[in-house]
Amino acid sequence: MFRVIWWFLEDLELKYIRLYKFRGKIKMFKKKIKALASFLKALSSGVIIYQMGKVGSTSISFSLGKKVPHIHSFGPDITNYFFKRPVKKRNYINYLIKKVILFFFKLKKEPKIITLVRDPLSRNVSAFFHYLEETNKHEYENLIIDEYMSLFNKRMPHDTPLIWFQNELEKYFNIDVYGYEFDKEKGWNIIQKGKVKVLILQMEKLNENEDVIAEFLNKPDFKLVRANTASNKNYIETYNEFKSKFKPNKQLIDILYNSKYMEHFYTNAERNIFVKKWR
């Protein structure tokens, strides 16, 4: 009799767990649908902020009151590569949502894209801590600084800034940014191919180009509000210590700073300043 009762309770518990998980999936699905609806509504402006992440785009988004979709990739989630884990089912939903957004964006009469570039190593360090904070906070929060450096060297996809434009703008919009001259001194350029218009900005000169953004968006009253999101993160102390102590090896310096990306978007003087900062 006791075994029957025990079996009944175990079966009841199992059913409860399955029901709980199912309800969780329904809740997540509803959340995704709501997010998609918000994105499609925001697409009415015909503008997206489409960039590799950690390049200062939050300031533009913040200045616009988050009325413009903010997208890092129309492909798979980069964190799946960073943590070397299989793509979860819910990420397939994210991927499908991206495809829907891309489809409707391309239907716009005059679709506009704002994208940015940044010192690649600074961008990668910032992205590294963002990935840890957003996806595996508790797993990595008690490491010492040397362990963070080792993890960064081994796991970080260092070439992300170097290949982002090929993997994204060229792949999904057939726009090769390297085929168009970039004004390194002013820190911006506008590319038009077909009906698609792209504004490329250097993060380092973002404040100087407020009027360029305003004209591109046809918003004369646009004012850039600097949003320093890193200072509000839990990892800020570790992040600052990492930046002050990390010394990249020569191979990484060569890969990042002797790249086609650096040559196209930055002057030799700017490149030397970046390299000196990390030595």
Q: Per residue in 106-126, pLDDT tens?
A: 999 999 999 999 999 999 999
Asked if 130 contacts 53 with a C-beta cutoff of 8 angstroms, the reply is yes
Q: Per residue in 155-168, pLDDT tens?
A: 899 999 999 999 99
146, 144, 161, 118 alpha-carbon torsion, rounded to 10°: -100
Other beta carbons less than 10 A from residue 109's beta carbon: 6
The model's pTM is 0.85
Q: Per residue in 123-139, pLDDT tens?
A: 999 999 988 887 766 67
